[in-house]
Structure 1
Amino acid sequence: MAAAVDALDAKILRLLLEQPRTSVREYARVLGVARGTVQARLDRLERDGVITAYGPSVSPAALGHPVLAFVHIEVTQGHLDDVGDALAEVPEIIEAFSITGAGDLLTRVVARDNEHLEDVVQRLIQLPGVVRTRTEMALRERVAHRVLPLVEAVGRRAAATAGRDRTATPTERDRTAGARREG
């Protein structure tokens, strides 16, 4: 179950995404709340799994791996975990997901060039439990990995819900809260 994120949480997340190297003290100043409040919120967001990591975003292309491909992997029944473990040993695989639809796994693979990509795919094909692969090369990134628009949408919904709760009568607030708990 997703953790409840309110409007202040969303503002903190936005600052964290936009200004990741800023101090908690500065976030508190910008938001007009106590530093302890911001720290407590960050701790809760981490504990609830909303914030999953801190650190730089590193460009594979800047590391000499400008080719990006998505490799679908079909796996022999009962070998999904084994193949998943083996994929973790391939440094060019930067993400892997078990999926529904055509194939069992979807991997995001980077390579130095097309020949290197072919070598990586050939390595994948040889893994025990891999039946076949299908590769799709990315031509151009159209939307970079992002979560800020989602954070903003969640924050707007939380603020709107809080606004409705403030204008409702006590009886209406009780009914709304009860409906949320039941849903």
Structure 2
Amino acid sequence: MSVDDLDRALLLELLEHPRAGLREYARVLGVARGTVAARFLRLQETGVITDLAPQVSTRALGYPVAAFIQLDLAQGHLDSVVEALTEIGEVIEAHTVTGDGDLLCQVVARDTPELEHVVQRIIAIPGVVRTRSQVALTQRIPRRVLPLVRQAAGKGAARGSVRARTAAPRAPR
């Protein structure tokens, strides 16, 4: 799907002011509420907007220990290993990767003994040949996409377009 200037402007509004609502987005963007609603729905349906759930702190849920575990897999076991990993609640992300290893998982735990237990559960999955773990000390940059949307808006926006109209400072709410 191609993302145009209005889509980028809407994405910026959604990321910078996630609670504003469609009516406010329409006002700021200078378009009809129905247009904003249709664009929002299309961005969801095409996978540009992938989630509307709040970001929840794992630390606040009692899981202050975060680690990255690299998995080496036996050939032909990727799908079965991923399926088994989805059964371990402490595995919060998994990515297939290039280079050393086959999967990179982010896991959380309440403490280091629990982290060891999570690692042992992962090692016990048929098809997992080896693991390497790194405990995260501090998250310095949280997952973010706003800078990317800003860059895309700067490169793709035509002069005098929606981007130019939304560049003016807003009135306080």
* 1:72-124 deviations in Å (ceiling 9; x for gaps): 01111111110010000000000001111111110000011111111100111
Equivalent residue, structure 1, for 2:166: none
TM-superposed CA distance for 1:19, in Å, is 2.0
Equivalent residue, structure 2, for 1:141: 139
Task: Confirm or deny that 1:93 pairs with 2:91.
Answer: yes
Equivalent residue, structure 2, for 1:22: 20
Equivalent residue, structure 1, for 2:106: 108
TM-superposed CA distance for 1:51, in Å, is 0.6
Larger helix proportion of the pair: 1
Identical aligned residues as a percent: 57
Equivalent residue, structure 1, for 2:9: 11
Residue 78 of structure 1 aligns with an amino acid whose one-letter code is: G
Equivalent residue, structure 1, for 2:37: 39
Distance 1:81 1:24 in 2: 40
Distance 2:111 2:150 in 1: 37
**Gaps (5+ residues) in structure 1?**
164-183
Select which of 125, 128, 139 maps to 2:126.
Answer: 128
Distance 1:124 1:43 in 2: 38
What secondary structure sits across from 1:62 in the alignment? coil
What secondary structure sits across from 1:118 in the alignment? helix
Higher RCO (CA 8 Å, separation ≥ 6 residues)? 2
In the superposition, the TM-score normalised over structure 2's length comes to: 0.88
What secondary structure sits across from 2:60 in the alignment? helix
> Which has the larger Rg?
1
Distance 1:157 1:42 in 2: 21
Q: Check conservation: 1:75, 1:131, Cα contact below 8 A.
A: yes
In the superposition, the TM-score normalised over structure 1's length comes to: 0.84
TM-superposed CA distance for 1:18, in Å, is 2.1
Paired residue total: 160
TM-superposed CA distance for 1:36, in Å, is 1.1
Aligned-residue RMSD, C-alpha: 1.3
**Gaps (5+ residues) in structure 2?**
160-173
Equivalent residue, structure 1, for 2:162: none
TM-superposed CA distance for 1:143, in Å, is 0.9
